[in-house]
Amino acid sequence: MKADHIRNIAIIAHVDHGKTTLVDAMLKQSRIFRENQQVEERVLDSNDLERERGITILSKNTAVTYQGVKINIVDTPGHADFGGEVERVMNMVDGVLLLVDSVEGPMPQTKFVLRHALERGHKAIVVVNKIDRPNARPDCVVNTTFDLFVDLGASEEQADFSVLYTNALTGEAGTEPDQMTDSLEPLFQRILKDLPPPRVNPDGPLQLQATLMGYDDYKGKIVIGRLNSGSIGKNDHVLRIDRDGNRHPLKVAQVFVHEGLKRIETERAEAGDIIALTGLGDVGIGDTITDPDRPRPLPPIKVEEPTLRVTFGVNTSPFAGREGEFVTSRKLRERLYIESERDVALNVEDTDSPDTFLVAGRGELHLGILIENMRREGYEFEVSKPEVILKKIDDKWHEPVEIVEVEVSGEHQGAVVELLGKRKGQMTDMELRDDGSIHYTYRVPTRGLIGFRQQFLTATRGEGLMNTLFGGYEPHSGDIPTRDHGSLVAWEPGETTTYGLHAAQERGTLFIGPNTEVYEGMVVGQHIRDNDLDVNVCKKKQLTNFRAAGSDDALRLEPPKNLSLDDALEYLSDDELLEVTPKDFRIRKRILAKNQRRRYQKQGGRVEK
């Protein structure tokens, strides 16, 4: 039967199309907050990294009530690197709001998320947001969105979607671009009318799939999922069936339902609702919580395979143990395996070395967010250069390929086309936009995109836009030159001086300033040529009694290039590591001593990855 008093919906969109802002407006207009309550913007982006980067990383659910109907809303990530979250969320909902920008229209990540929604048979409402933008082209965007539905194999019912126009920032909505109301009333009405209620069996055996995970210092692990059939209450005895079919009897400690941004404890939850449970121990993503007398396991959640991997290892630099709280291999291993339980798109494996672990993820951003989170939690470790995961198909090696969409002005198009051509990119589409910019679509091996973003931003003077989407596997395309410069490497340990740095800056771009402690083998800058160069950045000027006119004038240093964590990961070469601590991150050579490094290179040795 249908649970008409409930709607479970997901809001999906490309990065920065206003998804979280729209959820803010829906929460405010449903009277979740008090009249005098101070509410910050993007209230669902509770993670520090989400606020800093302006993106949604973790799926979060909230609930509003409209005309007696409870609407459970799941805010999903907009970036394809966090597609594992999206794939799970689609199991919990019955319909989606597809948010598209009134100027940009559907973008690569929109296609990725929408494909999963359509495969699950979900119906969509298309919401054209930012309708107040000067260059808004709503009719063109709706037509492009319809074409996207058809390209993704939508059924006739799915392709016959409703369209609404919104300005999420001001909380306005309307059925036509020039007929906007001063509230989101048309959106709420459309949700109740067009998106179906969950189909449930209230009298059947208990059946719930663990879809999302939370953690509380007092309550322990919190399991979130939709109750497909039956009901569940506090202190109920249940059965957990894991992905291998093993059965574990458990007892539920607490049951929560969502109301606004809060979880409200309840004695019993009914079928159709999205609920949270505690007291279930080591439950994993995709496990089924069911009736011990009438067990009915659900199929495990399938996610796409990782495409990039790095090694995490215990920090072995001369500065090891100075800045981190958790520095041992036991702590590092424990933290990585906890993350793999929570994020099914992440794979963690032990290696032959007890101090090194292989971690595979969806992309550089996926792995970069994990590294940044661990750094902020007090972990100290070292990371290798990201490398792609090859796959053997029909006895031939295939590599992952990305669909890359770039938007550049006419003056920069030549440089961008040349860059992508060098990285074995194949142009599949080209479109001239109304504002004079050019939109290119390429298929590029994932290998070719490692370290590409920085070169792309430099070539377009920071004005280019780039989006990527996993495009499957293709035969290995041969060698790709990804880095055309070497590193400036510290000659000896010590503290950098202005005198030493001034001599080094003539050979390239520095990453550090004066009075910075360095060690032998630490990378201090980028060489202008394609080979590495050892430089003495700690040398001091010899003091004499003689003074010449102008000799004591202050030496001028160029401001150092401050690398972000993502930039540093992209910069790495095969023979380099990234040392990560809570206070800093440093690029270093795998073999620190210059004599050993030179001997190794002369013998033609390759550093193991």
Q: Is the separation of the CB atoms in 524 and 511 below 8 Å?
A: yes
Amino acid code (one letter) for 475: P
The CA-CA-CA angle for residues 607, 608, 609, to 5°, reads: 115
Q: Is the separation of the CB atoms in 57 and 15 below 8 Å?
A: no
Question: Rounded to an integer, what distance in angstroms lies between the CA atom of residue 448 and that of residue 478?
Answer: 11
> Hey, how many other C-beta atoms are within 10 angstroms of the C-beta on 21?
23
Query: Can you give the three-state secondary structure of 317-354, one letter per residue?
Result: CCCCCCCCCECCHHHHHHHHHHHHHHCCCCEEEECCCC
To the question of whether residue 540 is assigned a binding role by annotation, the answer is no
Determine the 3-state secondary structure of 140 from DSSP: helix
> Exposed e or buried b for every residue in 26-45, given b needs 16+ CB within 10 A?
bbbbbebeeeeeeeeebbbb
To the question of whether residue 471 is assigned a binding role by annotation, the answer is no
To the question of whether residue 75 is assigned a binding role by annotation, the answer is no
Q: Which residues contact 604 (CB under 8 A, 6 or more apart)?
A: none
Cα dihedral angle (305, 365, 316, 505), rounded to 10 degrees?
140
Structure tokens at 191: 């949700």
Closest by CA to 212, choosing from 3, 336, 72, 70, is 72
| Cα–Cα separations (whole angstroms), residue 139 to 15, 136, 164 | 21, 9, 12
Closest by CA to 272, choosing from 207, 318, 222, is 207
Question: Rounded to an integer, what distance in angstroms lies between the CA atom of residue 399 and that of residue 147?
Answer: 29
To the question of whether residue 356 is assigned a binding role by annotation, the answer is no
Helices and strands (H, E) in the chain, number of each type: 15, 37
To the question of whether residue 145 is assigned a binding role by annotation, the answer is no
To the question of whether residue 19 is assigned a binding role by annotation, the answer is yes
> Hey, how many other C-beta atoms are within 10 angstroms of the C-beta on 363?
24
Determine the 3-state secondary structure of 12 from DSSP: strand
Question: Rounded to an integer, what distance in angstroms lies between the CA atom of residue 532 and that of residue 415?
Answer: 26
To the question of whether residue 130 is assigned a binding role by annotation, the answer is yes
To the question of whether residue 45 is assigned a binding role by annotation, the answer is no
Q: Which residues contact 411 (CB under 8 A, 6 or more apart)?
A: none
Sign of the Cα pseudo-torsion (174, 180, 185, 187, in order):
positive
Annotated binding-site ranges:
16-21, 129-132
Annotated binding-site ranges for GTP:
16-21, 129-132
